[in-house]
Amino acid sequence: MADLKKVHILVTRPVHQAEKLCLLIRENNGIPIRFPTLEIIPLILKRDEIEHYLTKADWFIFTSTNAVHYYCSQLDDAKMCDLKTKNCLAIGKATAQALTTAGLNVDLMPAHGYNSEALLNLEALQDVSQKKIVIIRGENGRETLADTLKRRGANVNYQDVYRREIPEIDCTNVLQLITKKHLDLITITSGEAIQNLVEMLPESQHDLLKKIPLIVVSERIQTIAKSLGFETVALAQMPSDDAILKTITTIINGEYSG
Protein backbone atom coordinates (compact mmCIF):
# COMPACT_ATOMS: atom_id res chain seq x y z
CA MET A 1 0.00 0.00 0.00
CA ALA A 2 1.21 3.49 -0.89
CA ASP A 3 1.34 6.34 1.59
CA LEU A 4 -0.10 9.48 0.01
CA LYS A 5 0.72 11.44 3.16
CA LYS A 6 -2.67 13.14 3.50
CA VAL A 7 -2.19 15.20 0.35
CA HIS A 8 -5.26 16.79 -1.24
CA ILE A 9 -5.89 15.41 -4.74
CA LEU A 10 -8.44 16.90 -7.10
CA VAL A 11 -10.43 14.22 -8.97
CA THR A 12 -12.03 15.72 -12.07
CA ARG A 13 -13.69 12.59 -13.50
CA PRO A 14 -17.46 12.79 -14.16
CA VAL A 15 -19.54 11.95 -11.09
CA HIS A 16 -20.40 8.41 -12.17
CA GLN A 17 -16.77 7.55 -12.94
CA ALA A 18 -14.96 9.03 -9.94
CA GLU A 19 -15.71 6.55 -7.16
CA LYS A 20 -12.93 4.02 -7.74
CA LEU A 21 -10.14 6.59 -7.94
CA CYS A 22 -11.46 8.42 -4.87
CA LEU A 23 -11.58 5.12 -2.98
CA LEU A 24 -8.00 4.25 -3.99
CA ILE A 25 -6.79 7.64 -2.81
CA ARG A 26 -8.56 7.28 0.56
CA GLU A 27 -7.30 3.72 1.04
CA ASN A 28 -3.75 4.95 0.51
CA ASN A 29 -3.88 7.80 3.03
CA GLY A 30 -4.74 10.57 0.60
CA ILE A 31 -7.62 13.06 0.59
CA PRO A 32 -9.68 13.01 -2.63
CA ILE A 33 -11.46 16.21 -3.58
CA ARG A 34 -14.33 15.51 -5.95
CA PHE A 35 -14.63 18.24 -8.57
CA PRO A 36 -16.14 16.94 -11.81
CA THR A 37 -15.22 19.15 -14.75
CA LEU A 38 -17.36 17.16 -17.18
CA GLU A 39 -21.01 16.21 -17.06
CA ILE A 40 -22.12 13.38 -19.33
CA ILE A 41 -25.60 13.88 -20.83
CA PRO A 42 -27.18 10.86 -22.57
CA LEU A 43 -28.49 11.35 -26.12
CA ILE A 44 -31.46 9.31 -27.32
CA LEU A 45 -31.04 7.67 -30.72
CA LYS A 46 -33.87 7.24 -33.20
CA ARG A 47 -35.12 3.66 -33.27
CA ASP A 48 -35.05 3.46 -37.06
CA GLU A 49 -31.40 4.58 -37.08
CA ILE A 50 -30.46 1.94 -34.53
CA GLU A 51 -32.20 -0.73 -36.60
CA HIS A 52 -30.69 0.52 -39.84
CA TYR A 53 -27.11 0.32 -38.62
CA LEU A 54 -27.62 -2.97 -36.82
CA THR A 55 -28.85 -4.38 -40.12
CA LYS A 56 -26.34 -2.79 -42.48
CA ALA A 57 -23.08 -2.27 -40.60
CA ASP A 58 -20.16 -4.72 -40.50
CA TRP A 59 -18.22 -3.24 -37.59
CA PHE A 60 -19.06 -1.19 -34.53
CA ILE A 61 -16.25 0.81 -32.95
CA PHE A 62 -16.75 1.96 -29.36
CA THR A 63 -14.58 4.90 -28.32
CA SER A 64 -15.15 4.88 -24.55
CA THR A 65 -16.85 3.13 -21.67
CA ASN A 66 -19.54 5.82 -21.83
CA ALA A 67 -20.13 4.96 -25.48
CA VAL A 68 -20.72 1.33 -24.54
CA HIS A 69 -23.02 2.16 -21.64
CA TYR A 70 -25.19 4.77 -23.34
CA TYR A 71 -25.52 2.77 -26.56
CA CYS A 72 -26.31 -0.59 -25.02
CA SER A 73 -28.79 0.98 -22.61
CA GLN A 74 -30.93 1.83 -25.65
CA LEU A 75 -31.02 -1.71 -27.04
CA ASP A 76 -33.64 -4.29 -26.13
CA ASP A 77 -32.74 -7.97 -25.91
CA ALA A 78 -33.36 -8.60 -29.60
CA LYS A 79 -31.14 -5.71 -30.67
CA MET A 80 -28.41 -6.82 -28.25
CA CYS A 81 -28.55 -10.21 -29.98
CA ASP A 82 -28.17 -8.44 -33.33
CA LEU A 83 -25.15 -6.53 -32.02
CA LYS A 84 -23.53 -9.79 -30.90
CA THR A 85 -23.43 -10.88 -34.56
CA LYS A 86 -21.34 -7.83 -35.48
CA ASN A 87 -17.62 -7.21 -35.05
CA CYS A 88 -17.13 -4.98 -32.02
CA LEU A 89 -13.93 -2.99 -31.69
CA ALA A 90 -12.77 -1.27 -28.50
CA ILE A 91 -10.41 1.68 -28.35
CA GLY A 92 -8.71 0.36 -25.19
CA LYS A 93 -8.84 -2.03 -22.26
CA ALA A 94 -11.44 -0.16 -20.21
CA THR A 95 -13.78 0.01 -23.19
CA ALA A 96 -13.18 -3.68 -23.92
CA GLN A 97 -14.07 -4.52 -20.32
CA ALA A 98 -17.27 -2.49 -20.63
CA LEU A 99 -18.21 -4.47 -23.75
CA THR A 100 -17.52 -7.76 -21.99
CA THR A 101 -19.60 -6.67 -18.99
CA ALA A 102 -22.45 -5.87 -21.38
CA GLY A 103 -22.26 -9.43 -22.69
CA LEU A 104 -20.62 -8.58 -26.01
CA ASN A 105 -17.56 -10.05 -27.68
CA VAL A 106 -14.48 -7.88 -28.23
CA ASP A 107 -13.25 -8.75 -31.69
CA LEU A 108 -10.42 -6.22 -31.89
CA MET A 109 -8.60 -3.82 -29.59
CA PRO A 110 -5.07 -2.42 -29.47
CA ALA A 111 -2.57 -4.53 -27.55
CA HIS A 112 -0.77 -1.31 -26.65
CA GLY A 113 -2.25 2.16 -26.44
CA TYR A 114 -5.78 3.37 -25.90
CA ASN A 115 -6.58 5.99 -28.52
CA SER A 116 -7.62 6.35 -32.15
CA GLU A 117 -4.04 6.15 -33.37
CA ALA A 118 -3.43 2.85 -31.58
CA LEU A 119 -6.63 1.39 -33.03
CA LEU A 120 -5.74 2.56 -36.53
CA ASN A 121 -2.40 0.77 -36.29
CA LEU A 122 -4.13 -2.62 -36.10
CA GLU A 123 -3.44 -4.77 -39.15
CA ALA A 124 -7.15 -5.50 -39.64
CA LEU A 125 -7.86 -1.78 -40.12
CA GLN A 126 -5.28 -1.18 -42.84
CA ASP A 127 -7.55 -2.36 -45.66
CA VAL A 128 -11.19 -1.58 -44.90
CA SER A 129 -12.38 -1.01 -48.44
CA GLN A 130 -16.17 -1.23 -48.68
CA LYS A 131 -16.52 -1.99 -44.95
CA LYS A 132 -19.54 -0.39 -43.31
CA ILE A 133 -18.38 0.94 -39.95
CA VAL A 134 -20.34 2.69 -37.22
CA ILE A 135 -18.45 4.66 -34.59
CA ILE A 136 -20.27 4.89 -31.26
CA ARG A 137 -18.99 7.98 -29.45
CA GLY A 138 -19.70 11.23 -27.65
CA GLU A 139 -20.91 14.24 -29.57
CA ASN A 140 -18.17 16.34 -31.20
CA GLY A 141 -15.47 13.74 -30.58
CA ARG A 142 -12.20 13.62 -32.48
CA GLU A 143 -12.41 13.09 -36.23
CA THR A 144 -9.09 11.26 -36.66
CA LEU A 145 -10.57 7.77 -36.59
CA ALA A 146 -13.36 8.36 -39.09
CA ASP A 147 -11.25 10.47 -41.44
CA THR A 148 -8.52 7.84 -41.63
CA LEU A 149 -10.93 4.94 -42.14
CA LYS A 150 -12.67 6.85 -44.93
CA ARG A 151 -9.33 7.42 -46.66
CA ARG A 152 -8.75 3.67 -46.42
CA GLY A 153 -12.01 3.03 -48.26
CA ALA A 154 -14.55 2.45 -45.48
CA ASN A 155 -18.11 3.74 -45.33
CA VAL A 156 -18.19 5.39 -41.90
CA ASN A 157 -21.10 6.75 -39.86
CA TYR A 158 -21.44 8.05 -36.32
CA GLN A 159 -23.95 7.37 -33.61
CA ASP A 160 -23.47 9.98 -30.90
CA VAL A 161 -24.87 8.64 -27.64
CA TYR A 162 -23.84 11.34 -25.18
CA ARG A 163 -22.56 14.87 -24.98
CA ARG A 164 -20.19 16.53 -22.57
CA GLU A 165 -21.07 19.72 -20.71
CA ILE A 166 -19.48 21.90 -18.06
CA PRO A 167 -21.15 21.07 -14.72
CA GLU A 168 -22.80 23.77 -12.66
CA ILE A 169 -21.18 23.17 -9.26
CA ASP A 170 -19.98 25.16 -6.28
CA CYS A 171 -16.27 25.97 -6.64
CA THR A 172 -15.85 27.53 -3.18
CA ASN A 173 -14.02 24.64 -1.51
CA VAL A 174 -11.59 24.18 -4.41
CA LEU A 175 -10.89 27.91 -4.58
CA GLN A 176 -10.12 27.98 -0.86
CA LEU A 177 -7.70 25.06 -1.22
CA ILE A 178 -5.95 26.76 -4.14
CA THR A 179 -5.73 30.12 -2.36
CA LYS A 180 -4.28 28.51 0.77
CA LYS A 181 -1.95 26.35 -1.36
CA HIS A 182 -3.47 23.20 0.15
CA LEU A 183 -4.37 21.56 -3.17
CA ASP A 184 -1.41 19.30 -3.94
CA LEU A 185 -2.26 17.41 -7.16
CA ILE A 186 -4.87 17.37 -9.93
CA THR A 187 -5.89 14.32 -11.95
CA ILE A 188 -7.09 14.86 -15.53
CA THR A 189 -8.43 12.19 -17.88
CA SER A 190 -9.50 14.15 -20.96
CA GLY A 191 -8.60 17.25 -22.90
CA GLU A 192 -12.00 18.79 -22.25
CA ALA A 193 -11.62 18.18 -18.52
CA ILE A 194 -8.51 20.37 -18.30
CA GLN A 195 -9.99 23.08 -20.52
CA ASN A 196 -13.18 23.13 -18.45
CA LEU A 197 -11.21 23.26 -15.20
CA VAL A 198 -9.54 26.48 -16.33
CA GLU A 199 -12.88 27.89 -17.49
CA MET A 200 -14.70 27.00 -14.26
CA LEU A 201 -12.26 28.83 -12.00
CA PRO A 202 -11.79 32.62 -11.96
CA GLU A 203 -8.87 34.05 -13.88
CA SER A 204 -7.51 35.56 -10.66
CA GLN A 205 -6.68 32.00 -9.50
CA HIS A 206 -5.09 30.75 -12.72
CA ASP A 207 -1.50 31.53 -11.77
CA LEU A 208 -1.79 29.49 -8.56
CA LEU A 209 -3.77 26.77 -10.33
CA LYS A 210 -1.14 26.25 -13.01
CA LYS A 211 1.60 25.70 -10.44
CA ILE A 212 -0.20 22.62 -9.09
CA PRO A 213 1.15 19.36 -10.61
CA LEU A 214 -1.20 17.55 -12.98
CA ILE A 215 -1.44 13.83 -13.67
CA VAL A 216 -2.77 13.15 -17.18
CA VAL A 217 -3.37 9.94 -19.11
CA SER A 218 -2.21 10.69 -22.66
CA GLU A 219 0.41 12.66 -24.53
CA ARG A 220 -2.36 14.60 -26.27
CA ILE A 221 -3.77 15.79 -22.92
CA GLN A 222 -0.23 16.56 -21.76
CA THR A 223 0.25 18.80 -24.80
CA ILE A 224 -3.05 20.60 -24.13
CA ALA A 225 -2.16 21.17 -20.47
CA LYS A 226 1.27 22.56 -21.32
CA SER A 227 -0.25 24.86 -23.94
CA LEU A 228 -2.55 26.22 -21.22
CA GLY A 229 0.48 27.07 -19.09
CA PHE A 230 0.56 24.28 -16.50
CA GLU A 231 4.10 23.95 -15.22
CA THR A 232 4.25 20.27 -14.16
CA VAL A 233 2.32 17.71 -16.21
CA ALA A 234 3.05 14.08 -15.30
CA LEU A 235 1.99 11.33 -17.70
CA ALA A 236 0.51 8.11 -16.32
CA GLN A 237 1.42 4.98 -18.28
CA MET A 238 -2.24 4.05 -18.76
CA PRO A 239 -5.64 5.72 -18.22
CA SER A 240 -6.57 3.25 -15.47
CA ASP A 241 -7.13 4.40 -11.89
CA ASP A 242 -4.34 2.09 -10.70
CA ALA A 243 -1.88 3.69 -13.11
CA ILE A 244 -2.98 7.16 -12.00
CA LEU A 245 -2.45 6.16 -8.36
CA LYS A 246 1.03 4.88 -9.19
CA THR A 247 1.95 8.19 -10.81
CA ILE A 248 0.54 10.12 -7.84
CA THR A 249 2.77 8.06 -5.57
CA THR A 250 5.92 8.71 -7.60
CA ILE A 251 5.28 12.47 -7.51
CA ILE A 252 4.64 12.53 -3.77
CA ASN A 253 7.81 10.53 -3.15
CA GLY A 254 9.83 12.78 -5.44
CA GLU A 255 10.53 9.91 -7.83
CA TYR A 256 8.81 11.19 -10.96
CA SER A 257 11.38 11.95 -13.65
CA GLY A 258 9.02 13.09 -16.41
DSSP state of 81: H
Task: Specify the pTM.
Answer: 0.88
| Residue in 229, 169, 225 with CA at minimum distance from that of residue 39 | 169
- CATH code of 8-38+168-252, in short, is 3.40.50.10090
Predicted pLDDT of residue 258 = 67
Pick the CATH number of 41-164 from 3.40.50.2300, 3.40.50.10090, 3.40.50.920, 3.90.470.20: 3.40.50.10090
Report CA-CA distances (Å) from 187 to 61, 95, 101, 248: 27, 20, 26, 9
Q: Tens digit of pLDDT for each residue in 164-184?
A: 999 999 999 999 999 999 999
Largest CA distance in the chain: 59
Low-confidence residues of the chain: pLDDT under 50? none
Residue spans per domain, the chain:
8-38+168-252, 41-164
The answer to whether 8-38+168-252 and 41-164 have equal CATH topology is yes
Q: Tens digit of pLDDT for each residue in 183-228?
A: 999 999 999 999 999 999 999 999 999 999 999 999 999 999 999 9
Which amino acid is residue 150, in one-letter code? K
Predicted pLDDT of residue 113 = 77
